[in-house]
Amino acid sequence: MKPKQIKINGGKIHFEWSEGIKRSFDLKYFREECPCANCKGETILYTTFKPQKITIEKPEMYKIAAIAPVGDYAIQIRWKDGHDTGIYSWTYIDTLEDQNTEQK
Residue 97 has pLDDT above 70, yes or no: yes
pLDDT tens digit sequence for 47-73: 777 766 666 778 789 999 999 999 999
Query: What does pTM read for this prediction?
Result: 0.82
Rounded mean pLDDT, 90-97 = 91
**What is the C-alpha separation between 84 and 66, in angstroms, rounded?**
9
pLDDT of residue 18: 87
**What is the C-alpha separation between 88 and 75, in angstroms, rounded?**
5
Q: Which residue has the higher pLDDT, 41 or 89?
A: 89
**What is the C-alpha separation between 14 and 43, in angstroms, rounded?**
31
Confidence of residue 46 (pLDDT cuts 50, 70, 90): confident
Q: Where are the domains positioned within the chain?
A: 3-98
Tell me, which fold does domain 3-98 have in CATH? NE0471 N-terminal domain-like (3.30.2020)
Reduce the secondary structure of 8-23 to three states and give it as a string: EECCEEEEEECCCCEE
Rounded mean pLDDT, 81-88 = 94
H or E stretch covering 40 = helix 37-40
pLDDT of residue 103: 44
**What is the C-alpha separation between 104 and 20, in angstroms, rounded?**
5
Per cent of the chain over pLDDT 90 is 61
- The angle subtended at Cα 49 by Cα 33 and Cα 53, nearest 5°, is 50
